[in-house]
Amino acid sequence: MARKISQKINTLAILSAILLAHPACAKENFVSYKEAAPVLASKAPKEAEPGSLVPEELYAEMAQGKDFLIFDARTKDEHDHERLPNSKLPRDEVYYKEAELFKQKIVREAPSSKKALERATKDIPRDAAIVTYCHAHCGLSKTLKLDLEDLGFKNVRWMDGGIDVWREKGYPLEKN
């Protein structure tokens, strides 16, 4: 939580500095944040976020035979339809069955995602290399990374661009 707040503060600080340094920021030229955001975003440095990697890096590591786990943060249906090679769902089967029952309004309470993650990863060494992914503009892989770190995993990265960029690059996918 503190890490997310720190990242938001850093982003706001960069945007504020750019905004204040821009000549259009004279009092008579103020615009709404909605109008300024696209301009500011294009001026902000495009650095890789800590703990992330791009599909090209993951593909290269896979080609080199590096040993790591790949967790798909998307839904079970999406994973079953199409996924990165050798990727797995991060939670146990019980969770996905209970989630489906909740979705169908058969049960009233949603299953605990964090408890299911803890159950499913209890036998994985905490120093195992793990990569998480979802879609290009989805935050689930980052959230999963943080949840895994909360469980004590020390070597977790998330793939920026997700399966969408992976597919655009023409990298292999497994399908049912």
Does pTM surpass 0.85?
no
* Contact between 84 and 173 (Cβ < 8 Å): yes
pLDDT by residue for the chain (176 residues), tens only, comes to: 556 565 665 555 554 555 455 554 444 555 555 555 554 444 444 455 778 899 999 999 999 999 999 999 999 999 999 999 999 999 999 999 999 999 999 999 999 999 999 999 999 999 999 999 999 888 999 999 999 999 999 999 999 999 999 999 999 999 98
Q: What is the pLDDT of residue 133?
A: 97
Q: Nearest Cα to 137, choosing from 170, 156, 174, 165?
A: 165
Using DSSP, state whether 69 is helix, strand or coil.
strand
Q: Is 139 helix (H, G, I), strand (E, B) or coil?
A: coil
pLDDT at 166: 96
What 3-state DSSP class applies to 82? strand
- List the one residue out of 82, 88, 84 whose CA is nearest residue 172: 84
147: amino acid identity, one letter:
D
Category of 103 on φ-ψ map: left (φ > 0), alpha (ψ -120 to 50) or beta: alpha
